[in-house]
Structure 1
């Protein structure tokens, strides 16, 4: 009998915990690594994560620790599930205890501020690993629904197709269906920019606007994501799949989406600080909208919806004024 695949998951928030559940349900030996002893104790003794997933029963085999070395020992896959802007600092602390042959898996959907690096690029630089030892999991993966074992699909991407296939096998369950890809750039951009478009749709919802507005923002948001991806070497077809359209639709339409909910509060007139205070978990698009816009400008790509979100979130522009400016841009043909 083959020994189970050992996996370490660094991060005990909603998605890290749920992906750990998926891996355990797929037959892997999974250890979660968090910062707080009381939360690790709760996971180990009550098989719940009371802080992030109250009421959800976790597999009895899913273990938790606060010791990075213990979690990482002999791990074939090391899954990273922390807020994007904290990845560099956290990984620098964890890297010395990671097995030399482990595959590092990013669950994060963001672009690093300042460097405008994708999360896989940060991993390669900090952990000093080749691109072929890094993988990405993305797609329409709202944690609470997967925690209820509702059917969902995802993309696992790696430059090395055999690595993607190994990860696919490790996380395949009756309710979680992963597809493979080698387009890491496209998959990561789709995941990062959809958070920004999710904010835009949320703002429109908060302003009381209707489904025509939502449909327009989703479609044109996907267009500007694809423009950026094409310039950066991504396969444009990636954006019509789970990592692009699939993830964008889920984020832009679900009440479970943090970015959508954050946008609603802004659209209703709350300030940035008021909205942050009302939001318990990280809405990645709030910081990433700036780095996405910076990335687009460095590549000479026009991203008007992203620019509008930045003006509302970080420059304090009233949503009604920003929307008027967005709608009054010069007329253009729709090209693909």
Structure 2
């Protein structure tokens, strides 16, 4: 498939969109620059985002603020143990007066779907999102219905050792382009949060700064970002490093390579560049790869996380910029 080389004006539009959305998110959450940038890169790469951390650190707030900052349709699903698949996708209801079935779409029929605490629902209900995330369509009663474009799932989940959680299966984790840990704020950021939330809800002040059409144009521009053979080889070396690591029982899949490249292109466009740098790959390697790999028993016993293993791999893989800086950009 051929892609159009983005112009300077198109790159400036993407960078400006990212800046506007970033500013709106920072009115609600302070000190989460890395998480916000990875979130924006995921959205612009047309991927799905998984926010994972302990309760109360701002996962749902970040997801809701993103939905408000983008002037798109937003569907919100609160996952609970008794949630049914039809509560996600929709259901056909018989209209007795017209002697026909009428389909009533579920909250998944939206541009942005906020799936809150996704791992509190049963695996059967979790699986209801699989087709929509991969195929951007939903099949109900034998009829396939397309979802609106763009279509993005922003899910939150608590760590699997928390009470009342069901671990997401590998197949569903792999549908998420990135997994981001929000983390605890610094003391200064926590004080700023107390001031921002004192007496009012800062979410009410978040205003839409980009439409669905703006987002679609930005996504199209991101697709045209150039990645040189040297950068692609570096990316593949990093992914293949997960497959040969003694600390990992399962390495990253080829889908991981595709999604890491897409996210790196989005990060480059956010910076106003028409080409990917190794730094783009390094910045997003852990968010894109960590949830797709499985640490080996000895790594878990030593308390080593998947993120730590990936950072070790990044430290070992040779960076192409050190060998041929001119080979990273067009021409």
What's the TM-score once normalised by structure 2's chain length? 0.30
Pick the structure with greater CA Rg.
2
Higher helix share: 1
Q: Taking CA–CA contacts closer than 8 Å with sequence separation of 6 or more, which of the two structures ends up with the larger relative contact order?
A: 2
Higher strand share: 2
